[in-house]
Structure 1
């Protein structure tokens, strides 16, 4: 059973797609969001949850006060589960579900920069694909934005692109959670804020 850990709908259960996803455990979500709240990265944030699966990460962010959450999921069954979960939790007014490939979605610039990006790709997503997604995100971030990449603890650190850097990694059993941010822009370049 998967539940929202804390916030306005804490304790409520989530439906999980019957196959093809690997929901982030409650233990990992609790630790991750504790760290993100310490960084003041959740309250009022515009959040992108890529490879959403059941939507657990993005819905956890919404429960904890994110202003707007977009769940991006390519699998039809999983996208339907995301929609049902958002509606059942009463969060559909702040949570949008987009059925698209994360690579295609992040290639299009958002109307406003993301404050928090949560990426939990299937463990078999190649590093080159993850690198493409991360590189596409750089112009969609501010220097205050936080990017989270969840991978197998046996995988290498994410391939942070130019313009982004990793600043923390935590391991929870078989799961590694990597935090990154946009690198400060040199003084001769205009900063996007």
Structure 2
């Protein structure tokens, strides 16, 4: 895995092979950031990265100047690796890491609202789990009024019926569905 753009562009992130991760491909990540870059000034936003794993998305946002990135994952190895990487890059002032079950974390908002909420749950998630994740994020005000939630998922999940759904974009085997608060 590598950081695609920003101040850490080209930096390789080599996670230990024993970690339970499925990092977003560079192709999909680049496409996602092209979409987000057309909607936000990435150096002015706050980001909540759920199921952050080794921090591929968190580090990409930080590299592009995002002011506040909060990463949440429950795997001890992933959290430790991400913390070491954040320290190595000297971005501890902008990236905070929380070892937590994502659903428990979302039940009580102690962090405020975010411009972008990104979630990359395990592909084994059922549609009901994705819907619970989306609803908890919206109901507990994790998302700012002008913000967007992006959920990475396989093609077997469809969210067009969700009231906050905007669109789905497909990049290879990766799908990103976008959600926003309705006025």
TM beyond 0.5:
yes
Structure 2 equivalent of residue 153 of structure 1: 155
11-20 vs 27-36, greater mean Cα deviation: 11-20
Aligned length: 180
Is contact 2:127–2:157 with CA below 8 Å preserved after alignment? no
Q: SS at the partner of 1:43?
A: helix
Which whole-Å deviations, capped at 9, do the CAs of 1:142-189 have from their partners, x for residues lacking one? 2201111000123323874x5xx12121111111111111111xxxxx
Task: Sort the Cα spacing of 1:182 and 1:149 in 2 relative to 1 into closer, same or farther, 3 A.
Answer: same
Q: SS at the partner of 1:86?
A: helix
1:112-123 paired onto structure 2 within 5 Å:
112-123=112-123
Structure 2 equivalent of residue 188 of structure 1: none
The answer on 1:134 being equivalent to 2:152 is no
Task: Sort the Cα spacing of 1:17 and 1:53 in 2 relative to 1 into closer, same or farther, 3 A.
Answer: farther
Is contact 1:120–1:151 with CA below 8 Å preserved after alignment? yes
Report the alpha carbon displacement of residue 10 of structure 1 after superposing the two structures with TM: 1.1
Distance 1:12 1:102 in 2: 28
Is contact 2:166–2:178 with CA below 8 Å preserved after alignment? yes
1:1-193 paired onto structure 2 within 5 Å:
2-18=1-17, 19-40=19-40, 42-138=42-138, 139-157=141-159, 160=162, 165-184=164-183
Q: Where do 4+ consecutive residues of structure 1 move more than 4 Å?
A: none
Structure 1: gaps of 5 or more residues: 185-193
Report the alpha carbon displacement of residue 46 of structure 1 after superposing the two structures with TM: 1.4
RMSD: 1.7
Is contact 2:153–2:176 with CA below 8 Å preserved after alignment? yes
Report the alpha carbon displacement of residue 98 of structure 1 after superposing the two structures with TM: 0.4
Is contact 1:41–1:115 with CA below 8 Å preserved after alignment? no
